[in-house]
Structure 1
């Protein structure tokens, strides 16, 4: 049995300890905001926070996150009004939207670590999250807006 804190609530999973965290989140906990993208940790669609750090849920096994605090997109704000989510809406960032939960989770982790990043720091932090629609400039603009209010 694996115990984690998922979006502030203790959860127990009786599945195999090598089950990917992504499947526990989506299939067992029923939180489908975290997306399956590439399955090898390269695209960032499955980004969640593990003890406050952005991590790829497809690459973590349940036994690796025993006792950890896991935050998914659903756990940022109960009404979807985290400052990064608000900036995403204000600037109409998504096109297809598939990668956006991973993008938002990566951006939140960046701003938690560096509340006022430069554009170069934003680009560096977001560089491993793929947007197939090419919304990169809007993503940078939204992270900047969330960090500065401008």
Structure 2
């Protein structure tokens, strides 16, 4: 019985013209008369023009008028409220709220949630002041 893994019993089949790869890993496949690859380059459309941004291109923008909520605004608000249970979370909420506001401002109207971010900063500040006040009061009662 022959071993199918034995290279002598399993000759290589020719699958057509395979690209020849040079030392640098670049394909040395035949190109058109103009020296261009037959299917164009990434970032170009089929006519060799520079492609516009879109969902298939890096950096493409979503449709006009399409907005999404900032992903840090809600966690900032939650952390600010949870600061009542664990004081450091109110500071985390303030920091996340400031970062969310900056991202929303720089998005040119593509992101929403500025109200949540602002509320997170306000609630976080109030909770931090309450925690500091309670901490000072407990320390002086000792």
Q: If the length of structure 1 is used for normalisation, what is the TM-score?
A: 0.20
Q: Relative contact order: is structure 1 or structure 2 higher (C-alpha 8 Å, sep ≥ 6)?
A: 1
The answer to which structure has the higher strand fraction is 1
Q: If the length of structure 2 is used for normalisation, what is the TM-score?
A: 0.21
